[in-house]
Structure 1
Amino acid sequence: MAGRWQRVWTEAYRFLAVGGLATLVAVLLFNFLVHGFHTGWDAPLSGQPYLAFVIANLVGMAVSYRGSRTWVFKDRPPRTADGGRLMFVAINLVTMLIPIAILWISRHVLDLDDPYSDNIAANVIGLFLGMVARFYLFRRLVFRRPVHLADLKQHPMQVFELADLDIDPLDDPVDLSEEPTAPSTSDRAPRPAP
């Protein structure tokens, strides 16, 4: 049980680091597109904060996927043949509605449209809630739990491919040959007719 929680905490702090980098990229791009960083010229999307938020977060999503796939969940194989990309994008798009809703409430209910209010609503409160939802959904739906050799002995039908095995040389060796197997007595399957 301690190993499981250690794995969760390791994935969580790595997820926060990757999410922090992706958020930094998205926040900088959002502020450039909406507020222009006080450069003296009009921001390209100053009248369209929602579109700017979506664009900025699509770029952040690309950073997040690469970091999640290669570092955060490196020990978890993806559930799908596309490396989990489609489910990753779907989860990100759905959870992007959380900060957009918070930004909408800030602008239309609370009537706050200054740069500080936009950033607190969308990039602090909204992204925090979205990040918690994404971490849970990525672990459950995009990346499979690694299978250890000791787990295989207790639940032999858990692994369907040899690549699903996560063999740790520091674990206690497990002897799977305790029960001898009998030779197969089944006949070959008949060939289908042309």
Structure 2
Amino acid sequence: MRGERLVPELVQFGLVGGAGFLLDVGLFNLLSLTVLSAHAVHGGPLYAKVASTIVAIAANWVGNRWLTFRDRRRPDWLREAIEFGLVSIGGSLLAIGCLGLSHYLLHLTSPIADNVSANVVGLALGSAFRFVAYRYWVYGPRAVPVAARADASI
């Protein structure tokens, strides 16, 4: 069962992730080009990335819970959300680390360089990490699917 679900899960994960990516990149650019620009706030691009990441994590949890892993939603939704958040933060640290490395150590400070490091390289590395961790830990075999309990409302 798990092997035959891999391709559909990857496609659905990609759709949810694509929407989250657009949200993340859009909010990152909105913030880093306005109120959290490097000229207005020291460390502004990093703060912008952290804020956009938090919003995208919340949206991705809802999307993955109701689409990608809907057959394995857990009745203990709060624990699921916390585990999902922890995995997401781990993956997001890869994107933020790539941005920090590029912007502050390599001094590649243009908006294009910030986007490539955070939103191409970082998100690609983070997405691979997240998919594996979601599939095998958060929604893995030890998770009791929501179908097993009728009172899971979220």
TM range (shorter): 0.7 to 0.9
Structure with higher Rg: it is 1
Q: CA RMSD in A?
A: 2.3
Residue 11 of structure 2 corresponds to residue 10 of structure 1: no
- Asked if structure 1 preserves the Cα contact closer than 8 Å seen for 2:71 and 2:147, the reply is no
Post-superposition shift, 1:73? 0.2
Query: CA separation in 1, counterparts of 2:147 and 2:100?
Result: 48
Post-superposition shift, 1:6? 2.6
Query: CA separation in 2, counterparts of 1:162 and 1:18?
Result: 22
Post-superposition shift, 1:162? 8.3
Corresponding position of 1:150: none
Instruction: Look up the equivalent residue of 1:77 and give its one-letter code.
Output: R
Query: CA separation in 2, counterparts of 1:98 and 1:11?
Result: 23
What secondary structure is seen at the aligned counterpart in 1 of 2:99? helix
* CA 1:23–1:30: 2 relative to 1, 3 Å: same
Residue 88 of structure 2 corresponds to residue 103 of structure 1: no
- Judging by fraction of residues, say which structure has more helix: 2
Matches within 5 A, 1:1-194: 3-35=1-33, 43-47=34-38, 48-78=44-74, 80=76, 82=78, 84-145=80-141, 163=148
Instruction: Look up the equivalent residue of 1:9 and give its one-letter code.
Output: V
**Structure 2 stretches lacking a partner, 5+ long:** 39-43, 150-154
Query: CA separation in 2, counterparts of 1:66 and 1:111?
Result: 36
Structure 1 residue runs of 4+, over 3 Å off?
A: 144-147
* CA 1:80–1:144: 2 relative to 1, 3 Å: farther
Query: CA separation in 1, counterparts of 2:11 and 2:142?
Result: 18
TM-score for both structures, normalised by structure 2:
0.84
Q: Aligned pairs, how many?
A: 143
Query: CA separation in 2, counterparts of 1:162 and 1:124?
Result: 36
**Structure 1 stretches lacking a partner, 5+ long:** 36-42, 148-158, 165-194
